[in-house]
Chain A
Amino acid sequence: QQQVKQSPQSLIVQKGGISIINCAYENTAFDYFPWYQQFPGKGPALLIAIRPDVSEKKEGRFTISFNKSAKQFSLHIMDSQPGDSATYFCAALAGGTSYGKLTFGQGTILTVHP
């Protein structure tokens, strides 16, 4: 059973457009929600992370929105670029008890057309 559900599985966006990836979770013990970016043949790399006491976090063109009551969070990529084409994984962690034991979503393959 997938504890973190991610959608869509794949996403095609034109250059300059907005990419939106959504995730939902059930386990209320989760209290850190990082997003990882993975290029083909590479390991996942941390993109941005949020705690549930923050409703939004922005770093450059990347923004995480968090809805604690709905147990949902999303990644927005503004002004999407071809170089953003990668697989994006949302993840969740129960900090304080499960150091580094990430539960990943299924991943979203993002393709940004020039």
Chain B
Amino acid sequence: AAGVIQSPRHLIKEKRETATLKCYPIPRHDTVYWYQQGPGQDPQFLISFYEKMQSDKGSIPDRFSAQQFSDYHSELNMSSLELGDSALYFCASSSLVRANTGELFFGEGSRLTVL
């Protein structure tokens, strides 16, 4: 079965640089979520989309932005990178009905390292 695809899997950037992460949700899923997981931490909700419209925001820094495109893929843009942005970034997708019961399908994550 198709899963959530994230790219790149690993990314190394310098402080103050910009990074873009991509997510391709499972076909026919109408919701997309971005989570950030620091080392040894639990995943923290960043932002979500329903049918390409932003639906909710969590603890996402103003330096970060995200959007979902007409083909349903989503991108997370991070600017003015800081050392503390080093983390695993997960994208998840689901149907609205399943998401309402907490059932999300996570990708394998993109590991961002900021030097």
Contact = CB atoms under 8 A, between A and B. Distances in A.
A95 B101 CA distance: 6
Contacts of A103: 45
A101 B56 contact: yes
A100 B92 contact: yes
B90 interface: yes
B42 A106 contact: yes
B94 interface: yes
Contacts, number: 78
Contact of B48 (A32, A45, A101): A101
Interface string A38-60: 00011111100101000000000
Contacts of A49: 101-103
Interface in B68-115: 90, 92, 94, 96, 99-109
B104 A46 contact: yes
A101 B102 CA distance: 8
B101 to A, nearest CB: 5
Closest 3 CB pairs of A and B: A43-B106, A100-B99, A104-B42
